[in-house]
Amino acid sequence: MISRRPGRTTLACALRPAGLFLAAFFVLYAHRFCVALVSTEDRCVWPLDWPAELGEARTSCRTIRFMTGTQETVYEIIFYDREQFEALWPVLLRLKTPGAPLRLFRTGSTAPSSLWSNAKPAVRIFGPAEGSVVFVSPHPTDASYDVERLLAEGEALRPVPPWPAEIVSADGSLPEYVRMSVEGGRASWVPGDPHGPIVSFFYRARVDLELVVDGSVIDLNRTQLPANGPVIDRRFEPEP
């Protein structure tokens, strides 16, 4: 089951005629060539346990939810004031998972997705799919089912922290995505590769950051870069 909040829901790809293929099979396979279902909201609705200091950025922020195939949530914060960015940047760095990358872009360049833009200085946060519950068996139709009991008995999982110790490295790093594995009747999270064979849905575990630099509001000469993960500089890559 995937809970949906108010916002705009769009099909972000052209759905080709598929004859009488089963709908469930199509949803599993769609993410191989497009984003199947996306919901956007013109404010940021991030986890309640994220730092309170981020509240001042809600008015210049968007939430983008990927709800099938590979599931994750992207928060895009646009910055217009250098002082605000520099005050929030240390807070944003605390969200990044140890070992996760920081990707750098420059304003005016082509963004890697049509769902967001590099037109203005910004920070993008790639995080888990909040609000979801993943069931081992088909979703119960009886309205009286107890989600908390199913979670406790290993018949359902939430794709959010805290993650099981088995997938957390000694330095605190995480796989980028996880998938559900069922053994002995109980479900658990294991590392998942959405570019490999299709075995199930994939859910983002790691928190990555992207920084769109303009040299004024976001000036790398004044910005501390993280030491707990790679910095991938895409500011001067050839335009696609």
Q: Give the tens place of pLDDT for each residue, 104-153.
A: 999 999 999 999 999 999 999 999 998 888 888 877 677 677 889 999 99
pLDDT value of residue 4: 34
Handedness of CA 82, 106, 66, 193 (dihedral sign): negative
pLDDT value of residue 28: 34
pLDDT value of residue 22: 28
Q: Which residues of the chain have pLDDT under 50?
A: 1-35
pLDDT value of residue 36: 54
133: tokens are 């519950």
pTM for this prediction: 0.83
Q: How many CA atoms lie within 13 A of 83 on its CB side?
A: 0
Q: Is 13 exposed, middle or buried (0-12, 13-18, 19+ CB in 10 A)?
A: middle
pLDDT value of residue 200: 79
pLDDT value of residue 32: 34
Residue located via tokens 């994750």: 72
pLDDT value of residue 58: 86
